[in-house]
Structure 1
Amino acid sequence: MYRLLIFLVTSLMACGQGSSQQTTTRPSTDSTRFYQFGEASRDGIGKRYQGREIAQVMGHLGASWLDRPEREQEERTDLLLEALSLKPADVVADIGAGTGYFTFLMAPKVPQGQVLAVDIQQEMIDYLNEGKTSRKIRNVTPVLGTESDPKLTANSVDLAILIDAYHEFSYPREMMQHIATALKPGGRVVLVEYRAEDPSVPIKELHKLSVAQATKEMKAVGLRLLRNDKRLPQQHIMFFGK
Protein backbone atom coordinates (compact mmCIF):
# COMPACT_ATOMS: atom_id res chain seq x y z
CA MET A 1 0.00 0.00 0.00
CA TYR A 2 2.86 2.38 0.82
CA ARG A 3 4.40 1.78 -2.60
CA LEU A 4 1.06 2.58 -4.18
CA LEU A 5 0.82 5.74 -2.11
CA ILE A 6 4.27 6.86 -3.20
CA PHE A 7 3.39 6.20 -6.83
CA LEU A 8 0.15 8.17 -6.55
CA VAL A 9 1.80 11.10 -4.83
CA THR A 10 4.63 11.16 -7.35
CA SER A 11 2.20 11.05 -10.26
CA LEU A 12 -0.05 13.74 -8.86
CA MET A 13 2.79 16.10 -8.17
CA ALA A 14 3.34 16.22 -11.89
CA CYS A 15 -0.12 17.79 -12.12
CA GLY A 16 0.65 20.00 -9.56
CA GLN A 17 -1.08 18.63 -3.33
CA GLY A 18 -4.05 18.91 -1.15
CA SER A 19 -3.65 22.57 -0.27
CA SER A 20 -4.47 23.67 -3.80
CA GLN A 21 -1.93 26.47 -3.49
CA GLN A 22 -0.90 27.14 -7.08
CA THR A 23 2.71 27.82 -8.04
CA THR A 24 3.26 31.26 -9.48
CA THR A 25 6.02 32.66 -11.65
CA ARG A 26 8.98 33.31 -9.41
CA PRO A 27 9.72 37.02 -8.96
CA SER A 28 13.31 38.20 -9.16
CA THR A 29 13.05 40.07 -5.86
CA ASP A 30 10.99 39.93 -2.69
CA SER A 31 10.19 43.33 -1.21
CA THR A 32 8.99 41.73 2.03
CA ARG A 33 12.37 40.04 2.60
CA PHE A 34 10.55 37.00 3.97
CA TYR A 35 11.69 34.71 1.17
CA GLN A 36 14.81 33.61 -0.63
CA PHE A 37 14.96 32.37 -4.21
CA GLY A 38 17.22 29.89 -5.91
CA GLU A 39 17.32 26.85 -8.12
CA ALA A 40 14.26 24.66 -7.66
CA SER A 41 14.75 21.09 -6.52
CA ARG A 42 12.84 18.30 -8.22
CA ASP A 43 9.87 18.59 -5.84
CA GLY A 44 10.13 22.25 -4.88
CA ILE A 45 9.50 25.67 -6.41
CA GLY A 46 12.87 27.27 -5.65
CA LYS A 47 11.33 29.62 -3.08
CA ARG A 48 12.50 29.27 0.52
CA TYR A 49 11.07 30.43 3.81
CA GLN A 50 12.86 30.11 7.15
CA GLY A 51 15.35 27.74 5.51
CA ARG A 52 12.66 25.46 4.02
CA GLU A 53 12.01 25.09 0.31
CA ILE A 54 8.31 25.33 -0.50
CA ALA A 55 6.95 22.17 -2.11
CA GLN A 56 5.21 21.84 -5.42
CA VAL A 57 1.45 21.54 -5.25
CA MET A 58 -1.37 19.33 -6.39
CA GLY A 59 -4.28 20.95 -8.19
CA HIS A 60 -7.84 19.91 -8.90
CA LEU A 61 -6.65 17.16 -11.27
CA GLY A 62 -5.63 15.23 -8.15
CA ALA A 63 -9.10 15.36 -6.60
CA SER A 64 -9.63 11.60 -6.84
CA TRP A 65 -6.57 10.97 -4.68
CA LEU A 66 -7.97 13.20 -1.93
CA ASP A 67 -11.16 11.13 -1.86
CA ARG A 68 -9.55 7.68 -2.22
CA PRO A 69 -11.43 4.96 -0.25
CA GLU A 70 -8.35 3.85 1.68
CA ARG A 71 -7.57 7.34 3.02
CA GLU A 72 -9.33 6.83 6.36
CA GLN A 73 -7.34 3.70 7.14
CA GLU A 74 -4.00 5.08 5.89
CA GLU A 75 -4.25 8.43 7.64
CA ARG A 76 -6.70 7.48 10.43
CA THR A 77 -8.83 10.52 9.82
CA ASP A 78 -11.19 9.19 12.49
CA LEU A 79 -8.45 9.70 15.08
CA LEU A 80 -7.72 13.18 13.74
CA LEU A 81 -11.37 14.15 14.09
CA GLU A 82 -11.33 12.86 17.65
CA ALA A 83 -8.18 14.83 18.48
CA LEU A 84 -9.78 18.15 17.51
CA SER A 85 -12.37 17.98 20.32
CA LEU A 86 -14.78 20.16 18.37
CA LYS A 87 -17.64 21.86 20.19
CA PRO A 88 -21.17 22.10 18.70
CA ALA A 89 -21.01 25.86 18.11
CA ASP A 90 -17.45 26.06 16.83
CA VAL A 91 -16.59 27.92 13.64
CA VAL A 92 -13.91 25.93 11.84
CA ALA A 93 -11.84 27.01 8.84
CA ASP A 94 -10.62 24.13 6.70
CA ILE A 95 -7.74 25.79 4.83
CA GLY A 96 -6.95 24.08 1.55
CA ALA A 97 -10.18 22.13 1.80
CA GLY A 98 -9.89 20.61 -1.66
CA THR A 99 -12.87 18.39 -2.39
CA GLY A 100 -14.10 18.68 1.20
CA TYR A 101 -13.14 15.20 2.38
CA PHE A 102 -12.45 16.42 5.93
CA THR A 103 -14.81 19.39 5.73
CA PHE A 104 -17.79 17.04 5.50
CA LEU A 105 -16.49 14.91 8.37
CA MET A 106 -16.28 17.97 10.64
CA ALA A 107 -19.62 19.54 9.71
CA PRO A 108 -21.82 17.15 11.77
CA LYS A 109 -19.60 17.82 14.80
CA VAL A 110 -20.48 21.55 14.77
CA PRO A 111 -24.28 21.54 14.23
CA GLN A 112 -24.69 25.02 15.74
CA GLY A 113 -21.51 26.32 14.13
CA GLN A 114 -20.10 26.12 10.64
CA VAL A 115 -17.17 24.98 8.54
CA LEU A 116 -15.57 27.52 6.24
CA ALA A 117 -14.07 25.45 3.42
CA VAL A 118 -11.29 27.60 1.95
CA ASP A 119 -9.56 26.90 -1.35
CA ILE A 120 -7.97 29.04 -4.05
CA GLN A 121 -9.15 27.02 -7.05
CA GLN A 122 -12.63 27.58 -8.42
CA GLU A 123 -12.74 23.91 -9.44
CA MET A 124 -12.39 22.89 -5.79
CA ILE A 125 -15.07 25.38 -4.77
CA ASP A 126 -17.33 23.73 -7.34
CA TYR A 127 -16.58 20.30 -5.81
CA LEU A 128 -17.42 21.69 -2.37
CA ASN A 129 -20.71 23.18 -3.50
CA GLU A 130 -21.67 19.93 -5.21
CA GLY A 131 -20.80 17.95 -2.09
CA LYS A 132 -22.75 20.36 0.12
CA THR A 133 -25.83 19.97 -2.08
CA SER A 134 -25.65 16.19 -2.46
CA ARG A 135 -25.17 15.69 1.29
CA LYS A 136 -27.80 18.32 2.18
CA ILE A 137 -25.40 19.98 4.59
CA ARG A 138 -26.20 23.58 5.47
CA ASN A 139 -23.36 24.53 7.78
CA VAL A 140 -20.57 24.38 5.18
CA THR A 141 -19.59 27.61 3.43
CA PRO A 142 -17.06 27.38 0.56
CA VAL A 143 -14.69 30.37 0.47
CA LEU A 144 -12.56 31.27 -2.54
CA GLY A 145 -9.29 32.61 -1.19
CA THR A 146 -6.03 33.66 -2.81
CA GLU A 147 -2.45 32.42 -2.52
CA SER A 148 -1.74 34.99 0.20
CA ASP A 149 -5.15 35.55 1.82
CA PRO A 150 -7.76 32.97 2.92
CA LYS A 151 -10.42 35.70 3.01
CA LEU A 152 -11.47 35.08 6.61
CA THR A 153 -13.03 37.74 8.82
CA ALA A 154 -10.99 38.90 11.81
CA ASN A 155 -11.86 37.26 15.16
CA SER A 156 -14.28 34.83 13.53
CA VAL A 157 -12.71 31.36 13.80
CA ASP A 158 -12.40 28.97 16.74
CA LEU A 159 -10.16 26.53 14.90
CA ALA A 160 -8.25 26.69 11.62
CA ILE A 161 -7.03 23.33 10.34
CA LEU A 162 -4.49 22.79 7.56
CA ILE A 163 -4.17 19.15 6.51
CA ASP A 164 -1.04 18.37 4.48
CA ALA A 165 -1.36 21.88 3.12
CA TYR A 166 0.89 24.39 4.87
CA HIS A 167 4.16 23.11 3.38
CA GLU A 168 2.83 23.99 -0.11
CA PHE A 169 1.72 27.56 0.58
CA SER A 170 3.37 29.93 -1.88
CA TYR A 171 3.07 32.74 0.67
CA PRO A 172 3.21 31.04 4.08
CA ARG A 173 4.02 34.20 6.05
CA GLU A 174 1.12 36.21 4.65
CA MET A 175 -1.32 33.31 4.86
CA MET A 176 -0.53 32.61 8.50
CA GLN A 177 -0.72 36.28 9.42
CA HIS A 178 -4.26 36.39 8.03
CA ILE A 179 -5.18 33.11 9.73
CA ALA A 180 -3.82 34.32 13.09
CA THR A 181 -5.88 37.50 12.73
CA ALA A 182 -8.99 35.43 12.01
CA LEU A 183 -8.71 33.50 15.30
CA LYS A 184 -11.09 34.29 18.11
CA PRO A 185 -9.59 34.72 21.59
CA GLY A 186 -8.45 31.24 22.57
CA GLY A 187 -8.65 30.05 18.97
CA ARG A 188 -6.30 27.37 17.66
CA VAL A 189 -4.40 26.59 14.49
CA VAL A 190 -3.88 22.90 13.74
CA LEU A 191 -1.16 21.80 11.32
CA VAL A 192 -1.43 18.19 10.19
CA GLU A 193 1.80 17.27 8.43
CA TYR A 194 3.73 14.11 7.63
CA ARG A 195 6.57 13.66 10.10
CA ALA A 196 9.89 14.88 8.67
CA GLU A 197 11.67 13.36 11.66
CA ASP A 198 10.65 9.85 10.62
CA PRO A 199 12.49 8.47 7.55
CA SER A 200 10.09 5.51 7.42
CA VAL A 201 7.18 7.76 6.40
CA PRO A 202 6.97 7.12 2.62
CA ILE A 203 6.43 10.71 1.51
CA LYS A 204 8.84 12.98 -0.36
CA GLU A 205 10.94 15.13 1.97
CA LEU A 206 9.53 18.49 0.87
CA HIS A 207 6.04 17.19 1.63
CA LYS A 208 6.96 16.52 5.26
CA LEU A 209 7.37 19.02 8.10
CA SER A 210 9.14 18.71 11.44
CA VAL A 211 7.82 20.06 14.72
CA ALA A 212 10.91 22.26 15.08
CA GLN A 213 10.46 23.83 11.64
CA ALA A 214 6.72 24.34 12.10
CA THR A 215 7.28 25.92 15.53
CA LYS A 216 9.85 28.34 14.09
CA GLU A 217 7.56 29.40 11.25
CA MET A 218 4.49 29.83 13.44
CA LYS A 219 6.49 31.88 15.96
CA ALA A 220 7.16 34.41 13.19
CA VAL A 221 3.43 35.28 13.12
CA GLY A 222 2.88 35.26 16.88
CA LEU A 223 1.74 31.66 17.35
CA ARG A 224 3.22 29.21 19.83
CA LEU A 225 3.11 25.44 19.99
CA LEU A 226 0.52 24.28 22.52
CA ARG A 227 0.94 20.54 21.98
CA ASN A 228 1.85 17.92 19.42
CA ASP A 229 -0.65 15.08 19.38
CA LYS A 230 1.05 11.85 18.27
CA ARG A 231 -1.91 9.52 17.77
CA LEU A 232 -1.74 9.36 13.96
CA PRO A 233 0.40 6.68 12.27
CA GLN A 234 2.39 9.01 9.99
CA GLN A 235 1.43 12.62 10.69
CA HIS A 236 1.89 15.24 13.39
CA ILE A 237 -1.17 17.01 14.78
CA MET A 238 0.36 20.29 15.94
CA PHE A 239 -1.82 22.72 17.90
CA PHE A 240 -0.80 26.39 17.96
CA GLY A 241 -2.31 29.40 19.67
CA LYS A 242 -1.53 33.07 20.25
Structure 2
Amino acid sequence: MRYFFFGLMVMLLFTACPPTPEAPPQLDDDMFIDDPVNEERDRSIWQQPGAVMDAMGDIREKVIADIGAGKGFFAKRLALVADRVIAVEINDSLIVDLEQLREVELPKEFRPRLEPRLGTESDPKLEKSEVDIILLVNTLMYIENQEDYLKKLYPALRSDGRIVIVDWKKRDTIEGPQKSKRLALGTLEEQLKAAGFHLVSSDDLTLKYQYIVVADKVRE
Protein backbone atom coordinates (compact mmCIF):
# COMPACT_ATOMS: atom_id res chain seq x y z
CA MET A 1 0.00 0.00 0.00
CA ARG A 2 2.85 2.37 0.86
CA TYR A 3 4.34 1.92 -2.63
CA PHE A 4 0.95 2.56 -4.19
CA PHE A 5 0.61 5.98 -2.52
CA PHE A 6 4.22 6.85 -3.36
CA GLY A 7 3.66 6.06 -7.04
CA LEU A 8 0.44 8.02 -7.04
CA MET A 9 2.15 11.08 -5.59
CA VAL A 10 4.93 10.92 -8.19
CA MET A 11 2.35 10.66 -10.98
CA LEU A 12 0.43 13.67 -9.64
CA LEU A 13 3.66 15.67 -9.33
CA PHE A 14 4.58 15.12 -13.01
CA THR A 15 1.01 15.85 -14.05
CA ALA A 16 0.98 19.17 -12.19
CA CYS A 17 4.29 20.40 -13.62
CA PRO A 18 4.01 22.22 -16.98
CA PRO A 19 5.83 20.60 -19.89
CA THR A 20 9.34 21.82 -20.57
CA PRO A 21 9.17 24.42 -23.41
CA GLU A 22 10.71 23.36 -26.69
CA ALA A 23 14.07 24.87 -27.59
CA PRO A 24 13.83 27.78 -30.04
CA PRO A 25 14.50 26.83 -33.67
CA GLN A 26 18.08 27.17 -34.81
CA LEU A 27 18.53 29.97 -37.35
CA ASP A 28 20.56 29.16 -40.43
CA ASP A 29 22.37 31.96 -42.23
CA ASP A 30 21.18 30.45 -45.50
CA MET A 31 17.63 31.39 -44.53
CA PHE A 32 18.49 35.04 -45.22
CA ILE A 33 20.17 34.60 -48.61
CA ASP A 34 18.16 36.07 -51.46
CA ASP A 35 16.73 33.62 -53.92
CA PRO A 36 18.80 34.20 -57.09
CA VAL A 37 15.93 32.93 -59.24
CA ASN A 38 13.50 35.48 -57.78
CA GLU A 39 16.12 38.22 -57.99
CA GLU A 40 16.64 37.51 -61.68
CA ARG A 41 12.90 37.50 -62.30
CA ASP A 42 12.38 40.78 -60.44
CA ARG A 43 15.18 42.53 -62.32
CA SER A 44 13.80 41.25 -65.60
CA ILE A 45 10.64 43.20 -64.78
CA TRP A 46 12.03 46.62 -63.87
CA GLN A 47 15.19 46.47 -65.99
CA GLN A 48 13.24 45.84 -69.21
CA PRO A 49 16.18 44.29 -71.10
CA GLY A 50 14.15 44.36 -74.30
CA ALA A 51 13.86 48.16 -74.13
CA VAL A 52 17.60 48.51 -73.54
CA MET A 53 18.39 46.21 -76.46
CA ASP A 54 16.02 48.20 -78.67
CA ALA A 55 18.04 51.32 -77.86
CA MET A 56 21.15 49.50 -79.08
CA GLY A 57 19.65 49.16 -82.55
CA ASP A 58 20.18 46.18 -84.82
CA ILE A 59 22.77 44.03 -83.06
CA ARG A 60 22.82 41.17 -85.53
CA GLU A 61 26.36 40.55 -86.82
CA LYS A 62 27.66 43.19 -84.39
CA VAL A 63 30.49 42.99 -81.88
CA ILE A 64 29.36 44.31 -78.50
CA ALA A 65 31.37 45.23 -75.43
CA ASP A 66 29.29 44.76 -72.28
CA ILE A 67 31.34 46.71 -69.75
CA GLY A 68 30.60 45.92 -66.14
CA ALA A 69 28.87 42.74 -67.26
CA GLY A 70 28.49 41.41 -63.72
CA LYS A 71 27.18 37.85 -63.80
CA GLY A 72 25.93 38.19 -67.36
CA PHE A 73 22.39 39.59 -67.12
CA PHE A 74 22.75 41.29 -70.50
CA ALA A 75 25.67 39.32 -71.91
CA LYS A 76 23.75 36.05 -72.08
CA ARG A 77 20.86 37.76 -73.87
CA LEU A 78 23.07 39.62 -76.33
CA ALA A 79 25.08 36.50 -77.18
CA LEU A 80 21.96 34.88 -78.60
CA VAL A 81 21.67 37.60 -81.25
CA ALA A 82 24.99 39.43 -81.74
CA ASP A 83 28.03 38.11 -83.58
CA ARG A 84 30.23 38.40 -80.48
CA VAL A 85 29.92 39.78 -76.95
CA ILE A 86 32.98 40.87 -74.98
CA ALA A 87 31.89 40.79 -71.34
CA VAL A 88 34.33 43.04 -69.47
CA GLU A 89 34.79 42.78 -65.70
CA ILE A 90 37.55 43.81 -63.30
CA ASN A 91 37.09 40.97 -60.82
CA ASP A 92 38.56 37.49 -61.37
CA SER A 93 35.64 35.83 -59.61
CA LEU A 94 33.15 37.49 -61.96
CA ILE A 95 35.18 36.31 -64.95
CA VAL A 96 34.79 32.78 -63.57
CA ASP A 97 31.05 33.36 -63.17
CA LEU A 98 30.80 34.54 -66.78
CA GLU A 99 32.73 31.53 -68.03
CA GLN A 100 30.43 29.24 -66.06
CA LEU A 101 27.37 31.03 -67.42
CA ARG A 102 28.67 30.54 -70.94
CA GLU A 103 29.06 26.79 -70.42
CA VAL A 104 25.84 26.22 -68.49
CA GLU A 105 23.24 28.69 -69.74
CA LEU A 106 24.12 29.20 -73.39
CA PRO A 107 23.33 26.56 -76.00
CA LYS A 108 26.49 24.95 -77.33
CA GLU A 109 26.37 26.72 -80.69
CA PHE A 110 26.24 30.16 -79.02
CA ARG A 111 29.06 29.68 -76.51
CA PRO A 112 31.86 30.91 -78.81
CA ARG A 113 30.04 34.24 -79.07
CA LEU A 114 30.63 35.15 -75.42
CA GLU A 115 34.15 36.23 -74.43
CA PRO A 116 34.74 37.18 -70.79
CA ARG A 117 37.60 39.67 -70.60
CA LEU A 118 39.44 41.00 -67.55
CA GLY A 119 39.82 44.76 -67.54
CA THR A 120 40.86 47.25 -64.86
CA GLU A 121 39.12 50.11 -63.11
CA SER A 122 40.68 52.56 -65.56
CA ASP A 123 41.07 50.46 -68.71
CA PRO A 124 38.44 48.28 -70.44
CA LYS A 125 41.17 46.50 -72.41
CA LEU A 126 39.49 46.99 -75.77
CA GLU A 127 41.47 47.22 -79.00
CA LYS A 128 41.15 50.11 -81.45
CA SER A 129 38.03 49.79 -83.65
CA GLU A 130 37.26 46.42 -82.05
CA VAL A 131 33.54 46.85 -81.36
CA ASP A 132 30.37 48.18 -82.95
CA ILE A 133 28.46 48.87 -79.75
CA ILE A 134 29.50 49.57 -76.17
CA LEU A 135 27.00 48.93 -73.39
CA LEU A 136 27.38 50.14 -69.80
CA VAL A 137 24.55 49.32 -67.40
CA ASN A 138 24.75 50.57 -63.79
CA THR A 139 28.51 50.85 -64.20
CA LEU A 140 29.74 54.34 -65.14
CA MET A 141 28.72 55.88 -61.80
CA TYR A 142 31.26 53.62 -60.07
CA ILE A 143 34.17 54.70 -62.28
CA GLU A 144 36.37 57.32 -60.65
CA ASN A 145 37.51 59.31 -63.69
CA GLN A 146 34.44 59.00 -65.88
CA GLU A 147 35.37 61.44 -68.63
CA ASP A 148 38.84 59.91 -69.05
CA TYR A 149 37.27 56.46 -69.18
CA LEU A 150 34.85 57.57 -71.90
CA LYS A 151 37.79 58.94 -73.87
CA LYS A 152 39.40 55.49 -73.74
CA LEU A 153 36.20 53.92 -75.04
CA TYR A 154 35.96 56.27 -78.01
CA PRO A 155 38.73 54.71 -80.16
CA ALA A 156 37.44 51.19 -79.43
CA LEU A 157 34.31 51.97 -81.45
CA ARG A 158 34.24 51.51 -85.19
CA SER A 159 33.40 54.55 -87.31
CA ASP A 160 29.65 53.88 -87.27
CA GLY A 161 29.61 52.57 -83.70
CA ARG A 162 27.57 53.74 -80.75
CA ILE A 163 27.66 53.74 -76.99
CA VAL A 164 24.59 53.00 -74.85
CA ILE A 165 24.67 53.96 -71.19
CA VAL A 166 22.00 52.92 -68.70
CA ASP A 167 22.36 54.31 -65.20
CA TRP A 168 20.28 55.27 -62.18
CA LYS A 169 18.17 58.41 -62.22
CA LYS A 170 19.41 60.91 -59.66
CA ARG A 171 16.31 60.74 -57.50
CA ASP A 172 14.99 58.56 -54.71
CA THR A 173 13.86 55.19 -56.07
CA ILE A 174 13.03 51.82 -54.53
CA GLU A 175 15.81 50.15 -56.50
CA GLY A 176 19.36 51.41 -56.81
CA PRO A 177 22.12 53.01 -54.72
CA GLN A 178 21.96 56.17 -52.62
CA LYS A 179 20.95 59.25 -54.59
CA SER A 180 24.16 61.06 -53.64
CA LYS A 181 26.21 58.40 -55.44
CA ARG A 182 24.28 58.54 -58.71
CA LEU A 183 25.35 60.20 -61.93
CA ALA A 184 22.97 62.94 -63.04
CA LEU A 185 21.72 62.69 -66.61
CA GLY A 186 22.88 66.20 -67.49
CA THR A 187 26.35 65.51 -66.13
CA LEU A 188 26.65 62.36 -68.24
CA GLU A 189 25.59 64.22 -71.38
CA GLU A 190 28.32 66.81 -70.83
CA GLN A 191 30.91 64.11 -70.16
CA LEU A 192 30.05 62.33 -73.41
CA LYS A 193 30.41 65.54 -75.40
CA ALA A 194 33.73 66.33 -73.70
CA ALA A 195 34.97 62.83 -74.57
CA GLY A 196 34.22 63.44 -78.26
CA PHE A 197 30.87 61.72 -78.64
CA HIS A 198 27.81 62.99 -80.46
CA LEU A 199 24.68 62.75 -78.33
CA VAL A 200 21.91 60.85 -80.16
CA SER A 201 19.20 60.51 -77.53
CA SER A 202 18.47 60.77 -73.81
CA ASP A 203 15.54 58.75 -72.53
CA ASP A 204 14.42 59.46 -68.97
CA LEU A 205 10.95 57.93 -69.32
CA THR A 206 11.07 54.34 -70.61
CA LEU A 207 12.66 52.79 -67.52
CA LYS A 208 11.26 53.37 -64.06
CA TYR A 209 14.54 53.71 -62.18
CA GLN A 210 17.11 54.43 -64.91
CA TYR A 211 17.77 56.58 -67.94
CA ILE A 212 19.08 55.42 -71.31
CA VAL A 213 21.60 57.57 -73.18
CA VAL A 214 22.79 56.81 -76.69
CA ALA A 215 25.74 58.50 -78.37
CA ASP A 216 27.94 57.84 -81.38
CA LYS A 217 31.18 59.07 -82.87
CA VAL A 218 31.36 62.58 -84.22
CA ARG A 219 31.20 62.42 -88.01
CA GLU A 220 34.40 63.77 -89.52
TM-score, reference length from structure 1: 0.67
How far is the alpha carbon of 1:162 from its aligned partner? 0.4
Contact 2:48 2:207 in 1 (8 A): yes
Contact 1:228 1:237 in 2 (8 A): yes
Seq. identity, %: 27
> Larger relative contact order (C-alpha < 8 A, sep ≥ 6)?
1
Q: Per residue, is there more helix in 1 or in 2?
A: 2
Letter in 2 for 1:103: A
Q: How many equivalent residue pairs? A: 177
Letter in 2 for 1:236: Y
How far is the alpha carbon of 1:75 from its aligned partner? 1.7
4+ runs deviating over 6 angstroms: none
* Matches of 1:190 and 1:67, distance apart in 2: 24
Choose the corresponding residue for 1:235, options 207, 210, 215: 210
Check if 1:166 corresponds to 2:166. Answer: no
Matches within 5 A, 1:109-148: 109-110=81-82, 113-134=83-104, 135=106, 136=108, 137-148=111-122
Mark the CA change 1:152 to 1:117 in structure 2 (over 3 Å): closer, same or farther: same
- 5+ long unaligned stretches in structure 1: 1-61
Partner of 2:7: none
* Matches of 2:145 and 2:68, distance apart in 1: 13
Partner of 1:180: 154
Q: What CA RMSD, in Å, does the superposition of the two structures yield over aligned residues?
A: 2.2
Bigger radius of gyration among the two: 2
* Matches of 1:227 and 1:82, distance apart in 2: 13
Letter in 1 for 2:207: L
* Matches of 1:101 and 1:191, distance apart in 2: 15
Letter in 1 for 2:186: A
Contact 2:55 2:214 in 1 (8 A): no
Contact 1:167 1:206 in 2 (8 A): no
- 5+ long unaligned stretches in structure 2: 1-33
How far is the alpha carbon of 1:202 from its aligned partner? 4.9
